[in-house]
Amino acid sequence: MENFIILGLLLSAFGMVFSKRVGALIWNFTLQSFFLFLLTFIEAVKGGGLSLYLVAVLVLILKVLVIPRIFSKMVVEMKVSEDLGFFIRPELSLIIALLLAYLSWVFSGMLFLGAAAAVAFLMMALGFFIMVFRAKALAQIIGLLAMENGIFLLASLVSGGMSFLVEMAIFFDVFVGAVILGIFVYRINRLFVSIDVSKLNRLRG
């Protein structure tokens, strides 16, 4: 069962790389978060205690329901174009993504970890990839959240999750971070009449 979920995580991560439109990206992210929720939930059922249930519910509420909803609303409200703005062609994106997959595999081996951890690293790497190679501000936020999803997976794999307090604090941070970034996206849209962050190049040198 877990293996299928991990496969789902992998596929949704690749799905994010191939998303050409903001909507698709958000949808893939939601999917990824949902798989993460499933994984945590199964862990909890297997005997993680109450706190793990709580974590699972939080994942569900925040990452599957609230954050994607906010972003979708923002896209509608700001009336920005749906296009994500690719810096490189999709074929090249695929090649790089595959290369990153290989590196994640090697890397996971270096740390005496298995395939599941490799997927976690890949989720991070692809999140990073989206942040670097996609022009829109929303893509950067989602990339960041995808990286955090990867970390979440890794944390639950290697150390059975962090202590409850820390986990909650991190959740809170991530959520607040996403909200604040959302506020800044509004400001960018108002001042620059676009959320293409590659246009933010007044400060240089």
Partner 1 sequence: MLLFDPLSVFFLIIILTISIPSFIYSFGYLKGHYSGRKILLGHLLFALFVLSLLLVVSAGNIFFFLIAWELMSFCSYFLVVFDSENKKSITAGTIYMIMSQIGTALLIVAFLLMYKYAGSFDFNAVKAALSLLPAKHQDILFLLLFFGFGAKAGIVPLHIWLPFAHPQAPSHISALMSGVMIKTAIYGMIRFIILTLGVNSLWWGELVIVFACLSCLVGIIYALMEKDLKTLLAYSSVENIGIILLGVGGSMMFLKLGYLPLALLAMCAGLYHLINHAVFKGLLFLCAGSVYRGTGTRNIEKLGGLIKKMPWTSSYFLLGSIAISALPPLNGFISEWLTLMVFFLGALTVAGGIKLFFGLAAAALALTSGLAAACFVKAFGITFLARPRSAKAENAKECGLSMNIGMGILGVLVVFLGLGAVYVVKLLVIVSGSALGIEGGQIQLGSNMYLPSPFLPLLLIFFLGLAFVLQRSRVSTNQTWDCGYYKLTPRNEYTATAFSKPFRRAFGFFLRPYRTANKSKDSHYHIKTFSYETHTTKIFTKYLYKNLLGWIFGLARNMRGIQTGSIHIYLGYIFLTLLLLLVFMGRY
Partner 2 sequence: MELTIILAVPLILSAAGLFVKKNEGLANLNCLGYLLSLIFSISAGYRFLSAPGSLSVDGLSLFFVFTISTVAFAAALYSGGYIEHEISRNLITKEKARLYYPLFNLFVFAMLLVTTVNNLGLMWVAIEITTLVSAFLVGFHNNKNSVEAAWKYIIICSVGITLALLGTILFSYAFVFSTGAKSLNWTELFSAASRLNPEIVKIAFIFIIIGYGTKAGLAPMHTWLPDAHSQALSPISALLSGVLLKTSIYAILRYGLIADKCLGGSYVSHLLILFGMLSLLVSAGLVLVQKDIKRLLAYSSIEHIGIIALGFGIGGPIGTYGALLHMFNHAVTKSLLFFGVGNIVNVYGSRNIRSIRGALRALPFSGLMVTAGIFALAGFPPFSIFFSEMMILLAAFSRGYAVLGCAMLFFIVIIFGAVIYYFSQVLFGEKPKNIVPYKEPLPGRLAFLFLLVFILVSGWAVPVLLDGLIRSVLILKGI
Q: Comparing C-alpha atoms, which of 26, 42, 14 is closest to residue 145?
A: 26
Q: Is 115 in the site for partner 1 (CB under 8 A)?
A: no
Q: Is 121 in the site for partner 1 (CB under 8 A)?
A: no
DSSP 82: S
Residues in CB range of 132: below 8 A, 6 or more apart: 87
Q: Is 96 in the site for partner 1 (CB under 8 A)?
A: no
Residues in CB range of 67: below 8 A, 6 or more apart: 33, 145, 175, 178
Is the CB of 167 or the CB of 196 nearer to partner 1? 196
Q: What is the dihedral sign for C-alpha 15, 16, 21, 23?
A: positive
Q: List the x/- string, 133-152, binding to partner 1 by CB under 8 A.
A: x-x----x------------
Q: Is 184 in the site for partner 1 (CB under 8 A)?
A: no
Q: Which does 1 bind (CB under 5 to 8 A by kind): partner 1, partner 2, none?
A: none
Grouping H, G, I as helix, E, B as strand and the rest as coil, residue 86 is strand
φ/ψ (deg, to 5) at 125: -60, -40
Which listed residue (92, 179, 193, 200) binds partner 1 by CB under 8 A?
200
Residues engaged in binding partner 2 (CB under 8 A): 107, 110-112, 124, 128, 131, 137, 140, 144, 147-148, 151, 154-155, 158-160, 162-163, 165-166, 169-170, 172-173, 176-177, 180-181, 184, 187-188, 191-192, 197, 200-203, 205
